[in-house]
Amino acid sequence: MNQVFLEYFRCPDSFANFALAGDEFNGELPGYFTFGSGLTCYGRSVLPRCETPTGDLPDAAAHVRIEGDTCVLPFDPTEVATNLRCELYTSATRPPSWKRLTRKIYYALRPLLPTYLRCHLQRASLKGWDQKPFPQWPVDRSVDRMFDELMVLALKAAPDQRIPFIWFWPEDHSSCAIMTHDVETSDGLAFTPQLMAINASFGIPASFQLIPAARYTVTPETLSAIKAEGFEVNVHDLKHDGRLFEDHANFQQAAQRINDFAVGFGAQGFRSAILYRNQAWFKDLRVSYDMSVPNVAHLDPQAGGCCTVMPYFIGKILELPVTATQDYSLFHILQNYSQDLWLQQIALVLQQHGLLNFIVHPDYLNTPRARTCYTTLLAELTRLRAESGLWIALPRDVNTWWRQRNAMTLIPRGQGWKIEGEGSERARIAYATLRNDELTYVFA
Ligand SMILES: [Zn+2]
C-alpha cells in the first residue's frame, strides 16, 4: 500500500510507512468519504458507506493514527488512487441503457446535423453539469491532494520532519504545459500550416493528432511537413465515429490497426475521438502514452474524470490527462471567448505543480475571435514560462521525462542524497517539510 505514494513522490522507500487499520473492510463495498476538508475519496474504508458524493460525507482524517514511525490509515491509498485515476467510481453510476442508445443514435446522425443544432443538443444533454459535486469543477486534484495529505502524515512520523524526493519536473521547472491539436476535418488539416506558424511565433511546441482512417488522407508529405517544423504527430482515434469503445472485440481489432498507423506515422502517442475511453482496454494499444482521459469530464459526452493533474501509468502506457477545457466546449457549449476559465484552471494546476494539457482544434479556430482567444492563451503561457518556470514541452518529451523519473532512485550520499538513473543530470532533489503544519517544498 506504500507503492503509489513512492511512485508519486519518488522518495526513498524508508519514508513511506503506511499501514491499514486492521482488515475490517475487506469484504465491504467501496463508498465516498472525505480525507480532510473538501477532499473526496472513493474506496473501501472502516467508515460508514456513502454511495453518492453528496451531503455530509464521513471524514477519514479523524480515524488516522500515528504509531511510532507508522501512519495507520482507515483506507488503502493505492485502492483510492486507482479508483479515481481509472474512473472506477463511475461504474457505480453508469448511464441508463436508454441514454446510451440515444447517444448511439446521436453519433450516427451527427455528420448530418448543422453545427447550431449539434451545439443545442449537446447543451441540452449536459444540463445540470454545473451542479455536479464530484469530480470538482473546474479542476479536480483529489488524487494529488490525497498524496499531499499522506506526505503531511509521513512528515509528522519522520524523525527530522524533512523528506527528500525527486522533483516532479526537470531542471528548475515549477510545472509543465503541453499544447495538443486534434485535426477533425480536411478544413482543420488545411489550417495546420498557419497554426504551426502561430505557435512558432510564440515558441510553443505542440502535437497534432491526425485521424488515420477517415475524413481526410494523411499523406507522407503531411507528416513530414509537421515534423520538419519541430512539431509532433500522434494518432487520433481510428475513424472518429464515436464507436471505438462500443465493443471489446471490435476495439481489439481497431487497436491493431491503430498500432500499425502509429508505426506508419512515427507516433508515440494516441488520443481517442471525443475523449471516449475505457482505460481497462488501453493495454491493447501499443503506444507509449495516451491523452484521452479528462481530469473532470462535466462538459464531455462521457462523464467521469481521473481527478489528478499529474501523469500516471495505466499498465505500460503513460496517461497525460487533459486538464483544461477544450476549445470546442468553451466556444460552443459555454459560448465563452474570454480567458477566465482557462486562467482559473491554469492557477489550480500550477498550485499543484501539475501538468496543463490543452486541446485546441485547428477546425474551431476559424473565426477571428477564436484565434484571438487562442493567441491570448499562448501569450499567457509564454509569460508563465518566463516568470514562473513553466516547462512547455512536446508531449513525447514529457513522456520521456516521466518515465526516466519513474526509474530514478534517491540514494544516501554523505549527509545528503543523490539521484541515480538515466536522465538524473536534469533531475532535482526537493525536500518536503512542514511550515505551520502546511506542506512546503524546498530545493536542496
Ligand atoms: Zn477529435
Residue-wise pLDDT for 366-391, tens only, equals 999 999 999 999 999 999 999 999 99
- Give distance in angstroms: CA of 238 to centre of ligand 1: 10
- Give distance in angstroms: CA of 184 to centre of ligand 1: 5
- Give distance in angstroms: CA of 397 to centre of ligand 1: 22
Least confident of 101-105, 193-197, 434-438: 101-105
- DSSP track, 196-235: HHHHHHHT---EEEE-SSSSS---HHHHHHHHHTT-EEEE
Instruction: Determine the Cα–Cα distance for residues 17 and 416; give it in Å rounded to an integer.
Output: 21
- Give distance in angstroms: CA of 185 to centre of ligand 1: 9
- Give distance in angstroms: CA of 362 to centre of ligand 1: 11
Q: What is the mean pLDDT of residues 102-125?
A: 78
The answer to whether 123 and 411 are in contact (CB under 8 A) is: no
pLDDT at residue 359, as a whole number: 98
Res 108 pLDDT > 90: no
CA angle 409–410–412, rounded 5-degree value:
140
- Give distance in angstroms: CA of 213 to centre of ligand 1: 13
C-alpha cell of 191? 489550417
pLDDT at residue 93, as a whole number: 57
- Give distance in angstroms: CA of 272 to centre of ligand 1: 7
Residues 6+ apart with CB under 8 A from 113: 121
- Give distance in angstroms: CA of 239 to centre of ligand 1: 10
Tell me the one-letter amino acid at 211. I
- Which letter does DSSP use for residue 66 in this model? E
pLDDT at residue 104, as a whole number: 73
- Give distance in angstroms: CA of 348 to centre of ligand 1: 26
- Give distance in angstroms: CA of 80 to centre of ligand 1: 30
pLDDT at residue 217, as a whole number: 98
- Give distance in angstroms: CA of 85 to centre of ligand 1: 22
Q: What percent of the chain has pLDDT over 70?
A: 97
- Give distance in angstroms: CA of 284 to centre of ligand 1: 20
Res 222 pLDDT > 70: yes
- Give distance in angstroms: CA of 130 to centre of ligand 1: 24
Instruction: Determine the Cα–Cα distance for residues 376 and 339; give it in Å rounded to an integer.
Output: 8
- Give distance in angstroms: CA of 271 to centre of ligand 1: 8
- Give distance in angstroms: CA of 93 to centre of ligand 1: 26
- Give distance in angstroms: CA of 310 to centre of ligand 1: 23
Residues 6+ apart with CB under 8 A from 267: 232, 233, 234, 235, 261, 287
pLDDT tens profile 243-281: 999 999 999 999 999 999 999 999 999 999 999 999 999
Based on the number of CB atoms within 10 Å of its own CB, is 428 exposed (0-12), middle (13-18) or buried (19 or more)? Answer: middle
Q: What percent of the chain has pLDDT over 90?
A: 85
pLDDT at residue 20, as a whole number: 92
pTM: 0.95
- Give distance in angstroms: CA of 90 to centre of ligand 1: 23
Instruction: Determine the Cα–Cα distance for residues 88 and 106; give it in Å rounded to an integer.
Output: 26
Band of pLDDT at residue 161, cut at 50, 70 and 90:
confident
- Give distance in angstroms: CA of 118 to centre of ligand 1: 15
Band of pLDDT at residue 102, cut at 50, 70 and 90:
confident
Instruction: Determine the Cα–Cα distance for residues 185 and 297; give it in Å rounded to an integer.
Output: 23
- Give distance in angstroms: CA of 354 to centre of ligand 1: 24
- Give distance in angstroms: CA of 180 to centre of ligand 1: 11
- Give distance in angstroms: CA of 274 to centre of ligand 1: 6
- Give distance in angstroms: CA of 359 to centre of ligand 1: 10
Q: What is the mean pLDDT of residues 30-42?
A: 95
pLDDT at residue 94, as a whole number: 59
Q: What average pLDDT is seen over the chain?
A: 94
Least confident of 155-164, 168-177, 293-302, 320-329: 155-164
pLDDT at residue 311, as a whole number: 98
pLDDT at residue 198, as a whole number: 98
- Give distance in angstroms: CA of 200 to centre of ligand 1: 23
- Give the chain's end-to-end CA distance (angstroms, integer): 28
The answer to whether 5 and 148 are in contact (CB under 8 A) is: no
pLDDT at residue 160, as a whole number: 85
- Give distance in angstroms: CA of 290 to centre of ligand 1: 14
Band of pLDDT at residue 350, cut at 50, 70 and 90:
very high
pLDDT at residue 85, as a whole number: 98
- Give distance in angstroms: CA of 221 to centre of ligand 1: 21
Q: What is the mean pLDDT of residues 217-230?
A: 98
- Give distance in angstroms: CA of 240 to centre of ligand 1: 7
- Give distance in angstroms: CA of 237 to centre of ligand 1: 8
Band of pLDDT at residue 128, cut at 50, 70 and 90:
confident
Instruction: Determine the Cα–Cα distance for residues 274 and 287; give it in Å rounded to an integer.
Output: 19
pLDDT tens profile 51-94: 999 999 999 999 999 998 899 999 999 999 999 999 999 976 55
- Give distance in angstroms: CA of 117 to centre of ligand 1: 19
- Give distance in angstroms: CA of 55 to centre of ligand 1: 36
Band of pLDDT at residue 95, cut at 50, 70 and 90:
low
CA angle 177–179–184, rounded 5-degree value:
155
Least confident of 9-18, 22-31, 115-124, 150-159: 22-31
Count of residues for the chain? Answer: 444
Least confident of 86-100, 134-148, 292-306, 411-425: 86-100
Band of pLDDT at residue 106, cut at 50, 70 and 90:
confident
Higher pLDDT, 192 or 126: 192
Res 24 pLDDT > 80: no
Q: What is the mean pLDDT of residues 12-19?
A: 94
- Give distance in angstroms: CA of 192 to centre of ligand 1: 14
